[in-house]
């Protein structure tokens, strides 16, 4: 058992890191609401009819507190070290914040006009699958530009009120369960749709010598990930489609995918999960983190249903009722457990005999 003073120091240190982060991103969310009000006033639009809040702020913040309590509990249990979010120094934070706010008028314009195909240009057609060439979330540049990659982490944390990284870390106990007691240098992990590399950073904080591969279709997001992960060795990042993972059969101890399944059309989800199963070793583990699905936490169902109306999320409605256990079974994987974590859930599958 750790010394009480050590435990107090861990708690203070955790709070000192997380509380200002939450305030920063919740503050951004509040500013977005005020800017939207002002934009409507200037355009002479009537304010939207008041809607009954689907969930009280009290409940939302209580559930956030539960997630952070669990995150801290994992640290205290020795499942991973005190996390460093590496959001960047003040100039970086302010730069990302400026990029975030300066994109809002274009996001608003696309939302009003329903345009979400600005990245499907003649030049890009055929270089990526058509389902990929969209302005997901109505964001400028879709997944394709450096500016989009620099805005992405702020967008995620504003949407999730600063809980995005804590939700990502809920995959780590599931990795700990299969990695504990093994020589990390001889294990291997692939993170598909790794984006800007936030999740891989937490994996490396826990297992610095674990060889990892981050796979993503976006060159721009991988450039960002390369910078973010440069403090680590044993990291490879590759541009590639998760429908055809560049790894031999039965070669990986773990495959992870964070917040990506809801971005894929149903038939592509099936191909990707079959690929994950192919590259996993016997005894290997697939961990998916994504949004809650309908019925996981019934009080949240109305929020989930509303989500794709504000953000361009063409495959989210099908995601809400997708049966991942059945898809994984079809691919030869056994469902181990689902764990909900605030507005996300961790789905765990093993490749068993
Ligand atoms: C919502 S982001 C999630 C990024 C990251 N995992 C995170 O934790 O934030 C989805 C990511 O999946 C990538 N992606 C989408 N379809 C893909 C595919 N078929 N193959 C590889 N990457 C894909 C996108 O480029 C994007 O970086």
pLDDT of residue 1: 52
Pocket test for ligand 1, best of 135, 257, 260 (most atoms within 8 A of CB): 260
> In whole angstroms, what separates CA 32 from the centre of its chain?
21
Q: Which atom of ligand 1 is nearest to the CA of 136?
A: 1
Give tens-digit pLDDT for 178-188: 999 999 999 99
Ligand 1 pocket residue status of 134, Cβ below 6 Å: no
Lowest pLDDT segment from 91-95, 244-248, 271-275, 310-314? 310-314
| 134 — pLDDT class (breaks 50, 70, 90) | confident
Q: What is the pLDDT of residue 58?
A: 94
Residue 234 has pLDDT above 90, yes or no: yes
Question: Is residue 252's pLDDT more than 90?
Answer: yes
Q: Indicate if ligand 1 lies below 6 Å from the C-beta of 216.
A: yes
CB 135 within 8 A of CB 106: no
Q: Of 35-39, 114-118, 246-250, which gets the smallest average pLDDT?
A: 114-118
168 lines ligand 1 (CB under 6 A): yes
So what's the pLDDT on residue 113?
78
- The band of 2, judged by pLDDT with boundaries at 50, 70 and 90, is low
Average pLDDT, the chain: 93
Q: What's the confidence (pLDDT) of residue 139?
A: 81
Residue 221, ligand 1, Cβ within 6 A: yes
Please report the pLDDT score of residue 52 as a whole number: 66
Residue found by looking up tokens 């809801």 in the block: 262
Atom of ligand 1 minimally distant from the CA of 168: 8
- For residue 20, pLDDT beyond 80: yes
CA of 270 to the centre of ligand 1 (A): 16
Nearest atom in ligand 1 to 132's CA: 16
SS3 content of the chain, % helix, strand, coil (to 5): 50, 15, 35
Share of the chain above pLDDT 90, in %: 76
Residue 126 has pLDDT above 90, yes or no: no
Q: Which residue has the tokens 């504003």?
A: 158
Band (pLDDT 50/70/90 cuts) for residue 123 is confident
Report whether residue 72 contacts ligand 1, using a CB cutoff of 6 Å.
no
Tens-digit pLDDT profile for residues 318-333: 999 999 999 999 999 9
**Which tens digits make up the pLDDT trace of 137-161?**
778 878 889 999 999 999 999 999 9
Q: How far is the CA of 196 from the centre of ligand 1 (A)?
A: 9
CA of 128 to the centre of ligand 1 (A): 13
Tokens of 170: 């809920």
pLDDT tens digits along 22-63: 999 999 999 998 998 888 888 787 777 766 668 899 999 999
Q: In sequence order, what E strands does the chain have?
A: 189-192, 212-216, 235-239, 252-258, 280-291, 334-341, 344-350
Distance (Å) from CA 143 to ligand 1 centroid: 8
This prediction's pTM:
0.94
């Amino acid at each position: 058992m750790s010394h009480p003073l050590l435990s107090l120091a861990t708690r203070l240190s955790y709070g000192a890191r997380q509380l200002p982060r939450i305030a920063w991103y919740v503050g951004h969310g509040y500013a977005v609401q005020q800017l939207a009000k002002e934009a409507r006033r200037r355009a002479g639009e009537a304010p939207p009819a008041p809607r009954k809040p689907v969930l009280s702020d009290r409940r939302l913040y209580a559930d956030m507190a539960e997630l952070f309590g669990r995150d801290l509990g994992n640290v205290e249990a020795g499942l991973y070290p005190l996390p460093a979010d590496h959001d960047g120094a003040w100039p970086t934070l302010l730069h990302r914040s400026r990029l975030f706010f300066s994109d809002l008028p274009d996001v608003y314009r696309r939302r009003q006009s329903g345009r979400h195909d600005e990245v499907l240009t003649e030049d890009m057609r055929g270089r990526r699958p058509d389902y990929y060439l969209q302005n997901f979330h109505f964001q400028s540049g879709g997944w394709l530009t450096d500016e989009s990659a620099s805005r992405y982490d702020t967008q995620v944390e504003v949407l999730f009120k600063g809980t995005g990284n804590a939700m990502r870390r809920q995959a780590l106990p599931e990795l700990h369960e299969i990695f504990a007691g093994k020589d990390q240098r001889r294990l291997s992990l692939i993170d598909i749709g790794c984006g800007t590399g936030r999740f891989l950073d937490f994996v490396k904080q826990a297992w610095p010598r674990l060889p990892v591969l981050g796979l993503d279709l976006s060159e721009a997001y991988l450039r960002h990930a390369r910078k973010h992960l440069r403090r680590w060795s044993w990291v490879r990042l590759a541009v590639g489609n998760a429908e055809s993972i560049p790894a031999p059969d039965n070669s990986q101890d773990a495959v992870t995918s964070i917040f990506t399944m809801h971005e894929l059309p149903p038939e592509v989800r099936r191909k990707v999960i079959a690929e994950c199963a192919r590259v996993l070793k016997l005894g290997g583990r697939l961990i998916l983190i994504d949004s809650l699905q309908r019925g996981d936490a019934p009080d949240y169902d109305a929020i989930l249903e509303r989500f794709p109306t504000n953000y361009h999320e063409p495959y989210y409605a099908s995601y809400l009722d997708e049966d991942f256990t059945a898809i994984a079974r079809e691919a030869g994987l056994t469902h181990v457990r689902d764990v909900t974590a605030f507005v996300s859930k961790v789905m765990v599958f093993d490749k068993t005999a």
